């Protein structure tokens, strides 16, 4: 029997006070459980909603384009004269039809009613024998006449708002004057023509029946530097080609001329000097058995589209070769259509185009994405004339039998394809296919480059260099702190390192970019000396410590030896930095970054991966250290004491018992740290050059997905392709983090199950 001390007063659990206490504690327990459950569900719901919103914004990128016929009517102005050209104004209310009779007919797009008739050739007595349209954004029309002259006109539209009602008034302007411009001095008919004009100069290229190819330039200059009176300087030169000319195309900057002949050859002339045009290159654009059936500049005037009798469309543009000379290169081709291409119409401001063939099929294409966006049967016969609206949301197609159809086009994001996002793309004027992110430019002919590959590479590069620095230090520090360190030191060290996690990343980025990056550049040999000498000094100190007499070592409490190591590390780092300049002068010619570039071709950027890796590693260390230390310290004591009792040393117990038991927690710590490194933003923004390059060079910067979102999102247009791709980058980061966490949890559970029986 157990004796009960009569002086001890046992609580009366049946008293009203005890009942009230138990009831109140139960209420608090249930309330706490409900609050925790609601909080957990709220977090999960928030994450799910974020994921759904990202998917909602990104989904339109991958919706297929659609072409829908809206209306069909008889050709405006009748079928008495053949159609030479169609055009649409921006609001899709008025269309333009140019006829072989020299009339410019402006008509309502809703029903085809003629709104205005204007004479393209004026009072010129000659007939139109050649016609071409210049850059669609400028609206230039060029008519070659039977007497060897040419007339240039530009269609434009005035928008007014009388009584708050929009009124669009079409007009024709004559940039080179209403008088015909003499091209062929002999008065021979012009058979093929192309022209471009701006405020400073006008360039006309034309071929006659005798296969003469003329280049005429009209340059407006001031008669005197201080005067206001202008004069026109005329230049005419003759070009030579081997076979009869079929197509001509002058670029929008009036510096290049493309010529196609009957044998399928494509000539590339440099006409910067109009008095002495220079043939730069000639290529066989189609096989010998085929012929060129359509020729048109892509938006921007850099690439040339060539349609042939096989139904294939090829993109050509000039590329510099090893001798720094331009050569025409075929970047890609499209073969969705199998009948001869009858018309090519480029979009105004994007790298897309529309093509029709002899079977009446019309296709929408995009060159950068290298894909056929849409393909429809628009007519039962050949479609020879088409026009696309400036916003690429409407299309005109003339059908056989004198009918004109109007199509609505829904094609907001043609630039997106798996290749353009993740594959190598051959961009205009580049030497080869590349991974490039360059979303904007000051030039209107810019080709957007939306490759996410260099951004994903930069993200992984940041995580790699940060983990190389942070993981060993954090895990080794956690092992020593949890297993070997004195309790009073652990109570000081652990909270101090955990407080580091509260340091804002913007402060770390600020210090890394403005202080640490210049310091590393100015003391680069010293930094590498420190990285080598500090581990060596630690090993040397440990060896010397083991050689000391035991009576001296016992004066330092076991687990406090790290205090003696601190001054050694400080002195070692100071010596390495002080020797930096001497070593740089002796071995690297006084400039190690320049020596690396000269000797090994390794470029050095001040804000590079080394700086970012150390800065992000400093931010990640507290997280990995804290979780790993808790996992190691939480290993049951009976495991360690049992191991020691069986004769194992402290180190054997740590390696074979403690680490195995704590491995699930250590693995989770590493994965959480990597997730933090992958999603880090401010340090990457402030401590790298934000250049989207794909090199493992530790002395070069990079651009990460998170940093790219932070930098470009404020300037992106809501709903644009650029805007949605930034959200796609966020979705990629979300999925990467989800994958990291899922893998970490699966591995952690397996490790826990494997070592739970220890």
- pLDDT confidence of residue 9: 55
- Of 471, 604, 458, 453, the closest CA to residue 527 belongs to 604
Least reliable range by pLDDT among 46-60, 241-255, 686-700 = 686-700
pLDDT at 227 over 70: no
Strands (E), 371-496: 371-377, 386-388, 394-399, 403-410, 437-438, 449-450
Q: How many CB atoms lie within 10 A of CB 579?
A: 17
Beta-carbon contacts of 703 under 8 Å, excluding residues fewer than 6 positions away, are: 437, 454, 455, 458, 684, 688, 690, 691, 692, 693
- pLDDT confidence of residue 13: 58
In whole numbers, what is the pLDDT of the chain averaged over residues?
89
pLDDT at 154 over 80: yes
pLDDT band, very low/low/confident/very high, at 157 (cuts 50, 70, 90): very high
pLDDT at 455 over 90: yes
Mean pLDDT to the nearest integer, 523-527 = 91
pLDDT band, very low/low/confident/very high, at 321 (cuts 50, 70, 90): confident
Instruction: Please count the CA atoms within 13 angstroms of the CA of 304 that sit on its side-chain side.
Output: 28
Burial of 486 (0-12, 13-18, 19+ CB in 10 A): middle
Least reliable range by pLDDT among 17-26, 220-229, 313-322, 505-514 = 220-229
In the block, tokens 């109570």 appear at 491
pLDDT at 440 over 80: no
Q: Is 0.95 topped by the overall pTM?
A: no
Between residues 19 and 333, the one the model is more confident about: 333
- pLDDT confidence of residue 441: 67
Copy the structure tokens of residue 298. 């892509």
The CA–CA distances, whole Å, from 355 to 73, 85, 96, 312, 585 equal: 22, 15, 19, 10, 65
Task: Determine whether domain 453-755 maps to CATH 1.10.645.10.
Answer: no
Identical fold for domains 124-159+168-283 and 453-755, yes or no, is no
Mean pLDDT to the nearest integer, 333-339 = 93
Cα(first)–Cα(last) distance of the chain, in Å?
A: 39
pLDDT band, very low/low/confident/very high, at 10 (cuts 50, 70, 90): low
- Of 57, 59, 54, 61, the closest CA to residue 411 belongs to 61
Copy the structure tokens of residue 691. 């250049």
The answer to whether 588 and 525 are in contact (CB under 8 A) is yes
- pLDDT confidence of residue 426: 94
pLDDT at 124 over 80: no
Q: What element of type H or E holds 90?
A: none
In the block, tokens 């050569």 appear at 327
Q: 3-state DSSP call for residue 444? A: coil
- pLDDT confidence of residue 475: 92
Copy the structure tokens of residue 145. 């006449």
Mean pLDDT to the nearest integer, 170-181 = 90
The CA–CA distances, whole Å, from 620 to 304, 513, 623 equal: 51, 18, 6
Mean pLDDT to the nearest integer, 687-712 = 88
- pLDDT confidence of residue 5: 58
pLDDT at 97 over 80: yes
Q: What share of the chain is helix, strand, coil (3-state, %, to 5)?
A: 40, 25, 35
**CB contact burial 100-136 (16+ within 10 A = b; e otherwise):** ebbbbbbbebeebeeeeebebbeebebebbbbbbbbb
Beta-carbon contacts of 349 under 8 Å, excluding residues fewer than 6 positions away, are: 137, 299, 390, 392, 444
CA dist 700 and 461 (Å) reads 11
The answer to whether 430 and 331 are in contact (CB under 8 A) is no
For residue 692, what is the DSSP state? -
The CA–CA distances, whole Å, from 175 to 139, 172, 384, 557 equal: 11, 10, 28, 94
- pLDDT confidence of residue 697: 87
Least reliable range by pLDDT among 1-10, 143-152, 549-558, 609-618 = 1-10
Q: What element of type H or E holds 289?
A: none
- pLDDT confidence of residue 367: 94
- pLDDT confidence of residue 740: 79
pLDDT at 693 over 60: yes
Mean pLDDT to the nearest integer, 282-292 = 92
- pLDDT confidence of residue 407: 95
pLDDT at 311 over 90: yes
β-strand partners of 207: 192, 213
Question: 124-159+168-283 sits in which CATH class?
Answer: mainly beta
The CA–CA distances, whole Å, from 579 to 519, 520, 540, 582 equal: 14, 14, 20, 5
Beta-carbon contacts of 314 under 8 Å, excluding residues fewer than 6 positions away, are: 285, 286, 305, 306, 308, 330, 332, 333, 334
The model's pLDDT over 714-735, given as tens digits with 9 standing for 90+, comes to 888 898 999 999 999 999 999 8
The CA–CA distances, whole Å, from 714 to 114, 386, 612 equal: 45, 38, 24
* Residue 176, φ and ψ in degrees, nearest 5: -110, 15
| Residues, the chain | 758
Mean pLDDT to the nearest integer, 140-153 = 93
Q: 3-state DSSP call for residue 294? A: strand
The answer to whether 352 and 414 are in contact (CB under 8 A) is yes
- pLDDT confidence of residue 360: 93
- pLDDT confidence of residue 3: 57
**Residue-range domain boundaries for the chain:** 124-159+168-283, 453-755
The CA–CA distances, whole Å, from 527 to 52, 507, 576 equal: 46, 22, 7
Copy the structure tokens of residue 733. 């980061």
Mean pLDDT to the nearest integer, 477-505 = 87
pLDDT band, very low/low/confident/very high, at 231 (cuts 50, 70, 90): confident
The model's pLDDT over 564-602, given as tens digits with 9 standing for 90+, comes to 888 888 999 999 999 999 999 998 888 999 999 888 888
pLDDT band, very low/low/confident/very high, at 545 (cuts 50, 70, 90): confident
Across 339-348, 628-637, 695-704, the highest mean pLDDT is recorded for: 339-348
CA-derived radius of gyration, the chain: 38
For residue 204, what is the DSSP state? E
Beta-carbon contacts of 113 under 8 Å, excluding residues fewer than 6 positions away, are: 76, 107
CA dist 413 and 727 (Å) reads 14
């Amino acid at each position: 029997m157990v004796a009960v001390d009569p002086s001890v007063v046992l609580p009366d659990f049946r008293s009203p006070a005890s009942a009230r206490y138990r009831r109140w504690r139960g209420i608090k327990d249930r309330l706490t459980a409900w609050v925790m459950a609601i909080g957990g569900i709220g977090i999960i719901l928030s994450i799910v909603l974020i994921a759904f919103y990202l998917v909602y914004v990104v989904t339109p990128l991958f919706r297929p384009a659609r072409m829908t016929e809206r209306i069909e009517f008889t050709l405006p102005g009748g079928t008495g004269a053949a159609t030479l050209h169609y055009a649409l104004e921006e609001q899709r209310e008025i269309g333009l039809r140019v006829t072989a009779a020299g009339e410019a007919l402006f008509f309502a797009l809703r029903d085809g009613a003629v709104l205005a008739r204007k004479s393209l050739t004026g009072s010129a007595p000659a007939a139109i024998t050649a016609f071409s349209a210049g850059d669609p954004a400028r609206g230039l029309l060029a008519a070659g006449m039977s007497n060897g002259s040419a007339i240039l006109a530009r269609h434009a539209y005035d928008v007014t708002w009388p009584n708050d009602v929009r009124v669009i008034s079409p007009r024709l302007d004559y940039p080179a004057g209403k008088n015909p411009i003499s091209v062929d001095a002999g008065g021979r008919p012009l058979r093929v023509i192309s022209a471009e004009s701006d405020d400073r100069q006008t360039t006309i290229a034309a071929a006659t029946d005798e296969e003469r190819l003329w280049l005429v330039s009209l340059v407006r200059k001031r008669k005197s530097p201080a005067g206001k009176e202008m004069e026109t300087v005329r230049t005419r030169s003759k070009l030579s080609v081997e076979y009869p000319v079929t197509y001509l195309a002058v670029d929008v900057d009036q510096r290049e001329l493309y010529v196609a002949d009957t044998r399928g050859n494509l000539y590339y002339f440099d006409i910067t000097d109009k008095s002495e045009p220079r043939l730069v290159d000639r290529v066989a654009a189609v096989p010998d058995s085929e012929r060129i059936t359509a020729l048109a500049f892509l938006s921007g005037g850099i690439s040339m589209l060539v349609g042939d009798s096989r139904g294939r469309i090829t993109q050509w543009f000039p590329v510099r070769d090893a001798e720094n000379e331009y050569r025409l290169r075929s970047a890609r081709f499209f073969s969705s259509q199998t009948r001869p291409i009858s018309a090519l119409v480029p979009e105004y401001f994007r790298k897309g185009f529309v093509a029709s063939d002899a079977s009446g099929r019309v296709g929408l294409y995009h060159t950068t994405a290298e894909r056929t966006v849409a393909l429809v049967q628009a007519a039962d016969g050949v479609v020879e004339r088409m026009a696309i609206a400036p916003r690429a949301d409407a299309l005109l197609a003339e059908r056989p039998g004198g009918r004109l159809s109007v199509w609505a086009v829904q094609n907001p994001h043609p630039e997106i394809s798996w290749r353009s996002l993740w594959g190598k793309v051959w961009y205009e004027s580049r030497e080869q296919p590349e991974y490039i992110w360059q979303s904007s430019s000051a030039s209107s002919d810019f080709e957007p480059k939306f490759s996410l590959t260099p951004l994903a590479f930069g993200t992984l590069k940041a995580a790699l260099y940060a983990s190389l620095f942070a993981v060993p230090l954090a895990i080794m520090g956690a092992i020593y702190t949890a297993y070997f360190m004195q309790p009073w030191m652990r109570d000081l060290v652990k909270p101090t390192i955990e407080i580091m996690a509260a340091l804002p990343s913007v402060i770390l980025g600020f210090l890394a970019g403005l202080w640490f990056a210049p310091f590393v550049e100015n003391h680069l040999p010293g930094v590498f000396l420190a990285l080598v000498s500090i581990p060596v000094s630690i090993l040397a100190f440990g060896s010397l410590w083991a050689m000391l007499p035991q009576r001296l070592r016992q004066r330092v409490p076991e687990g406090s030896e790290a205090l003696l190591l601190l001054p050694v590390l400080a002195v070692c780092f100071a010596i390495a930095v002080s020797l930096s300049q001497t070593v740089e002068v002796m071995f690297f010619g006084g400039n190690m970054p320049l020596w690396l570039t000269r000797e090994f071709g390794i470029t050095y950027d001040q804000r590079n991966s080394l700086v970012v890796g150390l800065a992000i590693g400093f931010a990640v260390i507290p997280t990995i250290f804290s979780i790993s230390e808790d996992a190691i310290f939480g290993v049951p004591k009976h495991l360690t004491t049992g191991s020691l009792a069986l004769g194992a040393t402290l180190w054997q117990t740590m390696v074979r018992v403690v680490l195995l038991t704590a491995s699930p927690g250590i693995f989770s710590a590493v994965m959480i740290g990597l997730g933090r490194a992958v999603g880090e933003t401010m340090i990457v923004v402030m401590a790298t050059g934000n250049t989207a390059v794909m090199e493992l060079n530790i002395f070069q910067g990079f651009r990460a997905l998170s940093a790219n979102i932070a930098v470009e999102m404020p300037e992106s247009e809501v709903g644009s392709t650029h805007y949605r791709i930034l959200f796609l980058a966020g979705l990629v980061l979300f999925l990467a983090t989800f994958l990291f966490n899922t893998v970490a949890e699966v591995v952690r559970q397996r490790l826990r199950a494997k070592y739970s029986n220890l």
